[in-house]
Amino acid sequence: MEKLNKEKKQCSKQVYPKEQWGSFHGHQCRITKNIIMRNGKSYCRIHDPVREEAKRQERQKKWDKENKKSREDSLRFFAMSKACQGVSTEDLETIKVKDLLELIRGEDI
């Protein structure tokens, strides 16, 4: 599938400048070295669809790993809020103090 082409070809990817008004005026990527042919189209190594997909999946895995703890904390807080509905603040504080004292003494809750 991957084939390095030695002919003078240009990457077929449409790119857009990052400047404010440049995003409306795209142009063809100007890279002509190390062109890879995929499904009849030519791509540079930067815009190679297989490489782009691999990088996207790597970023997604990193994001999932970093945000897993945040999601778990949110779910835990939501569960605690639901469990405490209808219980007065005084009762909650009494239970909390009692549990802390038991933990300090080394007793099981």
Q: Are 5 and 42 in contact (CB under 8 A)?
A: yes
**pTM for this entry:** 0.54
Residues 23 and 40 in one domain: yes
13 occurs within a structural domain: yes
61 occurs within a structural domain: yes
Is the predicted pLDDT of residue 51 greater than 60, yes or no? yes
What's the average model confidence in pLDDT over 62-91? Answer: 82
What pLDDT score does 109 carry? Answer: 46
Structure token digits, residue 19: 């400047």
Q: How far apart are the first and last CA of the chain?
A: 62
Cα gap 104→81, rounded to integer Å = 25
What's the average model confidence in pLDDT over 46-59? Answer: 95
Residues 56 and 87 in one domain: yes
Q: Which domain holds residue 99?
A: 48-104
Is the predicted pLDDT of residue 44 greater than 90, yes or no? yes
Higher-scoring residue by pLDDT: 89, 28: 28
Residues 53 and 99 in one domain: yes
